[in-house]
Structure 1
Amino acid sequence: MRVTDLTTPALLVDAAALEANLADMAALLPGPRLRPHVKAHKTTALAARQAAHGHRGFTCATVREVEGMAAAGLGEDLLLANEVLDARRLGAVVATGARVTVAIDSQQTLRAAVDGGVREVLVDVNIGMPRCGVAPERAGALADDARAAGLVVRGVMGYEGHLQLLTDPGERARLTTGCTDLLRAAHADVGGEVVSGGGTGTHRMNTACTEIQAGSYALMDTAYSAAGLPFRQALTVLSTVVSTTAPAGGTPGWAVADAGLKAFGMDHGNPAVPGGNVWFCADEHLVFDAADAPRTGDRVRVVPAHVDPTVALHERMHVVDGDEVLDTWAVDLRGW
C-alpha cells in the first residue's frame, strides 16, 4: 500500500524517526530507568517496540490501558499512575498473573486498592502541579496506613507536569530540582525502592527518580519540539486539500484540508503545516496558506501540537517509509 491509497485524515508514523527516538531514549535511560507512558500512543504494537528496546515496565493512565497491555502480554510490571475509586477491574488483571501497581493519595484510594484486589501501591505526592497527590509531609502517614491495611508500598511517585513544556531549559531544570526535592523528602518518610515520575520534558533533569515516566518522546509534537528536546517528529496527520481560494483584490489565498478539530488535540494550540501558516481549525477542516500554493487534491502531512489526545482520536496509525506503508497498528488502548 502507498500513502496515496489511504483515506484521510490518517495518522502516519515515520518508521525511521520512531526507531531513532526509541533507540536514543533507551541509550539515555536503559532498561528499568524508563517506564514508558503508553497514554502518549495507546498502541500495544508500539509498546512492544519499546519493550524490545529493554523497557519491560510501563506506565498507564487508564484501567483500559492496563487491561489491554496485560492482554497483549505486556503485563510484567504495569503502573496505573492515576487514582481510582473502583479497582475491581485492576484486581481482575492481577488475577490473570499480571503485576499491577496503583497510585494512592487518600484513605479512599487506599481502600479502593484493598477492596479491588490490588496489593501493590505507590504513594502519589503533590510536588507542585495542582492535580492529584498527597501533601509531601503527609505521605509517610498514608504509607503507614497502607501497610497496616495489608498493601505493599513500593515507593512514591510525583509529576512535575506543569514544567514539561517550559522553553527555557535552565528554568525548567531549576524548577524541576525544587519539585524533586519535595519528592525526595516524601520518599524518605515513605520508603520503598521506587521513586517514579518525570516526563519527556524533564527526562534528563529529574535525577531524583529511579524511573522516568516519559511517553511523548516516541512520536513527538510541536509543543515538545519547541522545548528543544532531542527527538525527531515521527507523527503526522495526513490530510487532503479539498478546496482552494486564489488571492484576489489584495486578499491572500488559502487552502482547506480535511482534518480539523476532530483529528487533532487542540489544547496546545493549532497544528502546523510545514512551509505553511495555519489560520484555524473547524470541526472537519484545517484552513492554511503556504508559499507554494496548494492545489485541490494535494496531500499534506500536518504536525499535531499535542500528541496524546491526537492519537486518541484515531482508530489506527500507519507506519510509513516515505510514501510506502510498512504496517498498520490499531490504537487499541483508546476508550475506557
Structure 2
Amino acid sequence: MASKLYTAIKSLNLLKKQGEPVHEALHELKRLLYSSKEWMNPFFLQLHITNKCNLNCKHCYYSKKDKKGLLTKNEIFKIIDNYNRFLKKTKQKGMIYFTGGEPLLDNNIYDYIARADELGMYTMVLTNGTLIDKSVARKLLESGTQLVQVSLEGMEETNDNIRGLGSFKRATEGIDNCVNACLDATVMMTISRLNIKDFEPLVKHCISHNVTQLSFDRLVPTGKGTRLSKELLTKLELSKFYDYIKSLSVKYRNNIAVNSCDPLWRKMISDSYGCCIGLKGICICENGDVMPCRRTNLVIDTIRNKSLISIWNSEYLRNFRRSENFEGRCGKCRDFKKCLGCRAVAKSVNGSEFGEDPQCFFY
C-alpha cells in the first residue's frame, strides 16, 4: 500500500513541477500515506522561524523577545537539511512543525514548507489562525502543508480574554479558509481554570466548522504564563476533568477526534507512551537555541554549526532516557518509562525538569 502511494505521489510531484493543478489530489494521497503503519511513530522537530507575533496571549511561554541573532533564511534551510540527515541516520520518519511567534508573519514560510515537503517530511503549521485568509490558505496547500493547527482557548468571550479582542472570530475564519482550501485543520486548547467550562462548547464549535481534531494540553506556568500559576488545575481537578473529556471523546467520536499528547491523558486512555522529551522530538528556537521542549525554557545547545545527531546523542538528553535520574513519585513509578510525566510542568512548578509531575493523579 505505502509503496504504491509513494509511486503515485512521485508522479504527481512531477506534474506539480510542470505547473499542473494537482495540489488537492497530492494532499489527499499524502494524507493516506501518513496514516499508514510506517508513519505511526514519527520523530518531530518543532522549528520556530520567528518570535514576532500579532497577539499578546496571557499564557505565552515567551517572556521577552530578543531581536538579535535570529536565524536567517539560509540557516533555516540548513536546519531542515540537517534534520533530514538526522532522520536518515536514525532511520526514522519525520514531522516538522513550523511555528513562532506567529509563523505566518514570516513570508519565507512557504519556501520552508516546500523544502521539507520535498524531502518527504510531514509538514504542519502551528498558528493562531488570525492571518489565514483565502490566499494564505491556498499558498499553504500549494507549498505542501499537510496540517494546520489553530489555537483557541474556548468560546469567544473566554478566548478573547486570553488571546485578545477579536481573535476568536478571526481564528475561526482562518479555520474555514483552511477547510475550504482542502487543508486539514485542528484546534489546540491550553487548559486551565480559566477555560475548562468552555470545553464541550468548543467541541461543538469545532464540529460545526469541520475541524478534524480538538487537541488539548495543560497550562505550563512559564514565560508570561508564570502569572497564571494560580490557574493551574490540581491533580484532583485534572483527574475529574480528564474523566469528563474522556466521556466527550466517546460522545462525539463520530464527528471529531478529541485527543492530547499529555502523558497523563495517554496513560488514561490507552497506556501508550507519553512525553516525547529526549525520545521522539526536539525544539529549535528562532535564534538557533536547542531545547528538549519549548515549554521547559531550557537551552541545551545551539544548532549553528552542529549536527542534530550530535546534540541528540548528548549526555543531557540521554538523562531523560534513564528512570534513575528522576525525583519524587516519578522516579519511583513503575510506569515511568511509559509516561515520564510532563517535564515542562515539573520544571515550572518544582524547579527541576527531572522533578515529579505535580499534577499526576495516578500515584
Does the pair score TM above 0.5? no
**More helix per residue:** 2
**More strand per residue:** 1
TM-score normalised to structure 2 length: 0.38
Query: Using CA pairs below 8 Å that are at least 6 residues apart, which structure has the higher relative contact order?
Result: 1
TM-score normalised to structure 1 length: 0.40
Larger Rg: 1
